[in-house]
Chains A and B, each alone.
Chain A
Amino acid sequence: MGKQYEIPVGAQHISLLEPLHFRFTTENEKIVKTDANVFYVHRGIEQACCSKFKFRQVSFVVGRVCGLCSISHTTAYSQVAEKLLKIEIPRRAKYLRMLVIELDRIHSHLLCLSHVAENSGFEALFMKTMQYREFSMELLEAVCGNRIQYDFSIVGGVTRDLKPEVADMILKRLDHFMPQLEELIGIYKNNWTLSLKNKGVGRISKEDAMRLNVVGPFARAAGLAVDVRNETEDLLPWKEVGYEMITDTAGDVHARNMVRLREIEVSIRIIRNVIAGLPESDLVTETKAFPEGEATVRLEAPRGELFYYAKGNKTQVLERLKIKAPTFSNVAGMVHAFTNNEYASAPAIIASYDPCLSCTAR
């Protein structure tokens, strides 16, 4: 056994976007043990949702849990509140929610891919991916009126309708994006320099992914077919709009890139189908009821399974709201997948997990 060193990474580090702290124990270059701490960004959002804000306002509060998957949080909360109120939302609202969730997934996945490229030392690809990502931000701005913090889902439905000219704009921009996506897939798949930093790095086996309850693209890249869109249809009809499970077998950084890129293709197909088959109905179901009882909701955010638990007590303020973000489930897998990798690969591995610490610590 060689001499062991402890190397801290974070909470502030050039390759980390979020305040996460890892302590690597290394033997020469090899990581043998990892400790993680996530205690830098606890904001007490669950407490605020159960004391200060009324249940209709909470959907705007939880949108601030995460900047990237804002729409997933608002939609998941709206769904759990709708379950407590025992109302069914209009079909058009469901379709519009799916549209914005998928647009959001495109921009989140491209952001993650660009950071993997950057942390692998490929700055030019980072620039290119960010350049191609811009269209999704503009589309989200056209649909929701804001580039981030969409505030699109409310309890009972959605706030805005999709205008025909915006629908045309989405289809046109997606057509324009398709060759760019092909180009990105080509680079991420075949580039030799990137493959040195990505192939066989940060590997997790399917058994470990299963044992450590990993979710999202992290699990799907290891061959574990877990996707909430595949499992539930009662709240959002994913199968109707052409959802398809994407999995890979390698479980390394490269496989995660590929899963994300191919999921963008699926997202584009879902968006096209949603726009083509957008049903006509109201946008909001009005109700004067108060939340009562207990309910849980699962939703596939860009990073994986998002889980909401809510308990109402027939007043304006909820009794308890529990948020489980995807990264929270992945912490155990993240810590495990570093083992036996070189310390120099750690930044790329961290980026490929797509960690969202603001969600995790809330």
Chain B
Amino acid sequence: MKKIETSLATLKNDLASFYNPAEHHFMVMNAVEMGEKMEVQWFFCDYAHPCETTCFFTLIERGEEVPSIKDIVDSAWVAEAELVDLMNINVENTAKGFVLEPDFESGPLLKKK
């Protein structure tokens, strides 16, 4: 797995220069709690053999808004909607209520304090 650090400001530029639909496919987004902060990850994988998994990651504060990559990767709305519901991350232009019911308490996967 190749890990590339990025930041919220440069994320979209980094992804736009990296992502080529004919070469890579977007797999999923993930978030890991790192104490007070959270690490948000974007996973891509190559089509070609031997394939390599590429992970873009950045550390965010809780409640900070993450830019949406929907205009770069067309299918990213599913992964973004999942993170909004399950990890209570604030993603640009994404409402809750896809993986959980809209009136459910957000963030069931967060560690219990």
Contacts and interface: CB of A to CB of B under 8 A. Distances in A.
Any A–B CB pair closer than 8 Å = yes
Contacts of A230: 49
Given A320-B33, A332-B75, A298 B1 contact: no
B101 interface: yes
Contact of A322 (B30, B50, B53): B30
Given A329-B27, A331-B78, A39 B101 contact: yes
A262 to B, nearest CB: 21
B77 interface: yes
Given A211-B21, A319-B32, A328 B78 contact: yes
Contact of B97 (A39, A51, A215, A232): A39
A320 B110 CA distance: 10
A307 B27 contact: yes
A46 B51 CA distance: 26
B50 A232 contact: yes
The main secondary structure of chain A at its interface with chain B is: mixed
Interface in B71-113: 73-75, 77-79, 82, 85-86, 97-101, 104, 108-109, 111-112
A180 to B, nearest CB: 34
A47 interface: yes
B98 A226 contact: no
Interface string B28-58: 1010110000000101011111110101000
Contacts of B74: 211-213, 332
Interface string A342-362: 000000000000000000010
A47 B108 contact: yes
Interface in A194-210: 210
B26 A213 contact: yes
Nearest to B55: A296
Contacts of A333: 75
A169 B45 CA distance: 39
B25 interface: yes
Interface residues of B, number: 40
Contacts of B9: none
Contacts, number: 95
A151 interface: no
Given A213-B26, A361-B99, A231 B51 contact: yes
Interface string A11-39: 00000000000000000000000000111
Contact of B22 (A44, A210, A361): A210
Nearest to A294: B1
B86 to A, nearest CB: 8
Contact of A332 (B48, B53, B77, B104): B77
B78 A332 contact: yes
Given A39-B98, A231-B51, A44 B75 contact: no
Contacts of A132: none
A42 interface: yes
B28 to A, nearest CB: 4
B45 A44 contact: no
A177 B50 CA distance: 34
A212 B79 CA distance: 12
A47 B98 CA distance: 18
24 contacts: A37-B97, A38-B99, A39-B97, A39-B101, A42-B100, A42-B108, A46-B109, A210-B21, A211-B74, A212-B74, A213-B74, A226-B47, A231-B46, A231-B49, A232-B50, A232-B51, A305-B27, A320-B32, A322-B28, A328-B79, A331-B75, A331-B78, A333-B75, A361-B99
Interface of A: 37-39, 42, 44, 46-47, 50-51, 210-215, 225-226, 230-233, 294-296, 298, 305, 307, 309, 311, 319-320, 322, 324, 328-329, 331-333, 361
Given A296-B1, A296-B55, 4 more contacts: A226-B25, A231-B47, A298-B51, A333-B75
